[in-house]
Amino acid sequence: MAPITDEQVERVRALVASIPPGRVSTYGDIATVAKLSSPRIVGWIMRTDSKDLPWHRVITASGRPAKHLTTTQLELLRAEGVLAEDGKIPLDELRFVFPD
């Protein structure tokens, strides 16, 4: 993976912070808007610098939370009115579309 710049980190952080309660986004959606080459970069940034962000609103493209965070993430989403069906968030209903 290429070195990640402070600008990229701050862009991802700003995008995650902008996801409103009751909505979700995917790692891939954020990577696209942030003009990053891979959703994995978003995952790395989230893993290292997201404690003060609504990290629980970022899920995988399949609509599922990260495996190691499933219970906590689904509980936090449920508290915002986001309900999973068989552990999966209905992206077609709840996906946040970032403004241009």
Residue-wise pLDDT tens digits, 32-82: 999 999 999 999 999 998 999 999 999 999 999 988 899 999 999 999 999
Of the chain, the end-to-end C-alpha distance in Å amounts to: 27
Radius of gyration of the chain (CA): 13
Taking the CB of residue 65, how many other CB atoms lie within 10 A of it? 23
Token pair for 14? 């700003």
pTM of the model: 0.94
